[in-house]
Amino acid sequence: MANKQHLPETTAPVIPLSVLALWIVGGISFGLIVYLFTPYTHNLDDIKVTLQYVLAPIVWGLFAVALWFGHIRRIHPAIVLPLFAFMLIMLAAAIVGMFPWRAWRDIVFQLTIMAPFLVVAGTCTNERRFRNICLYYFLIGCGTVFLGLFHFWGGVGLIFQRVYPLGQPEVANDALFTLLNTLSQNSDMLSTILNRDFYPAYLLMIIPLSVAMALDYRDWRAKVFFLLMFFLMCMCIVVAFSKDTYTALLFMFVLFAVLYAGPRGWRTAPRQVLWVWAVAGLIIFASLLFGVRTRFYNLGWSISVSVISRKIIWGGAFGILFDTTRSLGASIKHVLLGGGPGSYYLAFPIYRDPDYHLYEISNVTLFAHNQYLDLLCEEGVLGFVAFMVFLGALGWFLLREARRKFHHPLNVYQIALFTALVGISFQNTFSPNIRWTVCGFNYWFLLGLVVAACHLTLSENELRRIDEFFRFPPALRKGIAVAFLVFALLFEAIAIPYGLIRFNAAKNNNDGLILLNGFGDLHDLLSERVVQLRNQMGDPKYGLDAQFRERTEQLREGTEQLRETTRQKGIEAIEKFRRAVTWYPAFVTSYYKLAHLYSRMASPLLGTSTEQAIEWWKKGEATYDTLAVYAPDYSEIHLNYGILGRVFYGATNEVESLVTALLKFQKAARMSNKIPVQNYYYETLEKAVPLATTSSPIQAETVAVLEQGLRDLNPPGTSEESFERRLGELRDLINAGETQKAGRLEAELFHEMAIRVAERIPTLENRSGLEGAAIITTARWAVANYYIRKERYGEALPILEVLLDEDPQNTAYLRTWTTAALNAGEPRRHLELCARLIKRNPVDWAVRDA
């Protein structure tokens, strides 16, 4: 029966040396990737990624050796062929993809995380091996549970307080301090996966095995252990507060019960066991829910944000796949093959909703948070279909075997694995967990177990048909083995150096980030010191009080030392970022931070002259140019480009720099509705107004800029005949060489476009605090004045009333509002507002005069 331990063979089959080596290296690799983390790079999980690229290719090489000796199981062609087709489609998508460098990196990633699948599916050829591998897989997960709960309940914090009661030690770069300090500052359920959202997904793939093993093992101590681990794993999921995992876990409970009890009936399970399990489960879950009840207070708001954020993130995937602006040929290619592996990461900023920042979506989004949309937008319909056929074949074979062989000793494992496969497939609709190292390895380990569980109960006839399908002539079989071995060696030659190079690049990048943060803190302190010094030097006591003057001079010396320290910190950070991109030229984060740092080094607070500042700005611009080669729309690159263009213009008065800034700000404003971004666009449009002259080089770009601006500001399908007519006139004047008339019309259109942007700014949600509020006020004031100049007094009145409500003592607002009200023929409205303001402040004589 399924609830009895299947007795092992009296004589264990001899394990071939190639298979034994594959198990040892594969097992060690998997364990290290799950458990190991280090503070060496200041990012605890960088070592996991390095091990992935260094160890997994060795597993591929050993698999090739085992294949050469004929020690690898033949897998059903309905499973192998779709997977092979998917890899070929992935290769084709990389060749014609949008970002080839990223595509090849993602192919290497995909090949490395498939290593557990090769080991488990290829060598798990009998029940004893299957049970042992399942036990290993489960015990690795158990270790993460104990470590996760120890950290969550404050164990790491207690160790940190005991080892470092005085805080930061005198020894520089103390690795243990960095590790304990980093972990103790985060109270989330992370375990060794180091991610609150990914760890529950990791456990979803393991939890059903705890129930299967409790039913399969005969020893009562084993049953208690497996049931205990089941509850502890559920506990970890609950306290991790991953909302989509809750739904998946609940569905898995129901599915497992239906599949197990359906053909057997509930009467086969002892009632005492059912009651104990049910009561214990209710007590544990009630206690857990009570312990984390505060996390549920904002659950409704959290779900609302999650729904909208997924809509935005998923919408980006459809945008990449179905961009209507592409040519017919490009559209067909994208639909069939997608944008190439990894393309979502770099293309998403173009297609995301500009309100993305309101829903906890960062400037850099790596994945679509949906395995199936990732497949569609990166490998196209062909890749999606191939992988879904592969996944569907696994599920169909496993479910078929579970339903047909419910008396087989491995049946309970088949039910557990099918439940895990369904659960993680549901989770992958909302989470990118399998695109990350640990969960990716765990996912393909699970798929390997699914293949093994299917094949161990296949009928003799089906196994014979599989053998016949793969019965190749000896020469061809050897040729395939040689080709696979050569491929594995090439894979090792590429992946292993890449893993080591990336590790060194990550170390330097993270060192640079720490130095950059230190530079920022010192720069802020320097700013305060400079203000303090300026105030003291302007104080009358500076010339009269000798002690005050001495203290001021000491402050001056300290400020100069601080300035030099800040400058040196920035130079050290620059060197670290440069080393990072020297190690790995496609490390886009380092380029972005390096360009930002170059710009900050031009600060006058550092004693930088105008000539030196221009040199720093040029270095920043050159760095952004290099970044744009790899990631043309990365993070807020267009905004930063625009800022550089504006400071160049301020320092050199070169109109071309302002043109560049205008083009970049326009694209940044199209991609983001952040109020500061929109304000940069508005201000630069206003700066372009006085430049619209007969000699302005801006005219070469004017029509395109204004046409794009009109498209950005108006909903699809709408038009503005007046503005479009004048755009046509401007185009004709430029073509006819009538530069003076063109310049005047250009200035008028630029100003009108600036006002249109200013009109939008108050309608946007302010997430920029006082800075955003000040921008909104400025925008309203500009729009109100524009309406008055255009004699649109009725439209100006409500805007001015809002400004007066915010600042009732502002005489400029009051005078302008009075003018607008009287010219609009609304003296009664004028008197009512004045009465309201006088009531608020009876001694405000400006209101009485109005």
- What percent of the chain clears pLDDT 90, i.e. is strictly above it? 56
Q: In one letter, which amino acid is 615?
A: E
What pLDDT, on a 0 to 100 scale, did the predictor assign at position 7? 43
- pLDDT tens, position by position, 634-652: 999 999 999 999 999 988 8
| pLDDT higher than threshold 80 for residue 789 | yes
- pLDDT tens, position by position, 415-450: 999 999 999 999 999 999 999 999 999 999 999 999
Write down the mean pLDDT value for the chain.
Answer: 87
What pLDDT, on a 0 to 100 scale, did the predictor assign at position 654? 84
SS3 call for 527 = helix
- Which residue from 369, 341, 365, 368 is spatially nearest to 636, judged by alpha carbons? 365
- Is the whole-model pTM more than 0.95? no
What pLDDT, on a 0 to 100 scale, did the predictor assign at position 4? 42
| Greater model confidence, 2 or 82 | 82
CA distance 27 to 31: 6
Q: What's phi and psi for 660, nearest 5 deg?
A: -60, -45
CA distance 8 to 467: 26
- At 245, list the tokens: 């995992």
| pLDDT higher than threshold 50 for residue 735 | yes
- pLDDT tens, position by position, 528-552: 999 898 888 887 887 777 888 888 8
CA distance 602 to 596: 10
- At 558, list the tokens: 């300290």
Give the range among 166-170, 360-364, 746-750, 821-825 with minimum mean pLDDT.
Answer: 166-170
- At 105, list the tokens: 């990196």
| Greater model confidence, 216 or 241 | 216
What pLDDT, on a 0 to 100 scale, did the predictor assign at position 5? 43
Binning pLDDT at 50, 70 and 90, where does residue 697 land?
Answer: low
49-63, 319-333, 690-704: range with highest mean pLDDT: 49-63
CB-based contact 773:783 (threshold 8 Å): no
CA distance 372 to 369: 9
- At 729, list the tokens: 């006139």
DSSP secondary structure string for all residues of 605-644: GGT--HHHHHHHHHHHHHHHHHHHHH-TT-TTHHHHHHHH
Mean pLDDT of 140-167: 90
- Which residue from 575, 626, 627 is spatially nearest to 364, judged by alpha carbons? 627
What pLDDT, on a 0 to 100 scale, did the predictor assign at position 325? 87
| pLDDT higher than threshold 60 for residue 225 | yes
CA distance 596 to 784: 36
CB-based contact 197:170 (threshold 8 Å): no
- pLDDT tens, position by position, 21-79: 999 999 999 999 999 988 888 888 899 999 999 999 999 999 999 999 989 999 999 99
| pLDDT higher than threshold 70 for residue 505 | yes
> How many whole angstroms from its chain centre is CA 281?
36
Give the range among 403-412, 458-467, 615-624 with minimum mean pLDDT.
Answer: 403-412
Whole-angstrom CA distances from 79 to 74, 385, 390, 448, 849 are 11, 13, 5, 11, 86
Mean pLDDT of 260-281: 64
